[in-house]
Amino acid sequence: MHLLMLRRVTNPMSEQARVFITGGASGLGRALALRFAREGYRVAIGDINDDRLAEAADAIRAAGGEPLTCLCDITSDDAVARSAVEIEKAWGGIDVLVNNAGVASAGTLLDTSMEDWRWMTEINLLGAVRVLHAFLPMMQAAGSGHVINVASAAGIVQSPGMASYNVAKGGMIALSETLRSEVAGFGINVTVVCPSFFTTNLMESYRGPDEGARDLAGRLMDRSRLTADDIADAIYRGMKGDEFFVFGHGEARMAYHFKRLFPGLFRWSTRRAGEKLFGRFVPLKPGEVEK
């Protein structure tokens, strides 16, 4: 557990719009922070790496934003709650909340230890719930706001060998769908982000029983034509357009529609992928139809 430390960097009382981004000191979070800064936002970022927070604050200021940094562990109820209190005291509330902090993992359901299941869901799913508990009342009181939850294409496709990550990101999508219906009456919009692989530092947090999976994910990230800046731009445009789903990648959007329109074929393809991946291919008998 980490103690919460906040440093007010510039005058907090300007009339600029306000955003809070978890995991905002690196990767996609930092790219989002700079994107909002270029639009003139006051940008609060939460992270567990103090050195990166300081560097990100300098970058936000250089990009034209007004930074506030929070050394905060999103697995701590108290730390997140204190962060919300301090930001509300400094700025009077927030206009945009971005649940971005997350970790990476791979492994089948049985290969993934219970410890790693708890680690994954505590950060990638319950971390977002914890942040919403702390910050959403500000938006409800103001009668406006926008919540952006960063999920993944893994929450849609559920590829074999990524059990806990798939479940946590699928839960983030379900959380966003539920939240959208619950807060619409308060004037609050919700966006859920489901990108595929792109260049980021997510693999620094990787856990899993198979190093081959880590190497594969790293190669897919390196091959991607999109960067964290590209995804941040897509998220910002999606927010301004009040879009619910933001994909960033064309293949992620295609996977979403493929699963929705052709569920039987989708299940067949993922089953075959699992059989090929784990060497347990069992061909259908003549005339047999997969259920």
- Reference 138, options 181, 70, 86, 61; nearest CA is 86
Cα gap 159→120, rounded to integer Å: 17
First to last CA, the chain: 46
Q: Which two tokens stand for residue 252?
A: 């992620």
Strand order in the sheet with 96-99: 5-8, 66-71, 42-47, 18-22, 96-99, 145-150, 188-193, 245-246
Q: How far is it, in rounded angstroms, from Cα 6 to Cα 60?
A: 16
Contact between residue 230 and residue 241 where contact means Cβ atoms under 8 Å apart: no
How far apart CA 150 and CA 128 sit, in angstroms, is: 9
Phi, psi (rounded to 5 degrees) for 221 = -65, -45
Catalytic one among 41, 165, 236, 256?
Answer: 165
* Known catalytic residue at 256: no
Q: How far apart are CA 18 and CA 36, in angstroms?
A: 9
Active site residues: 165
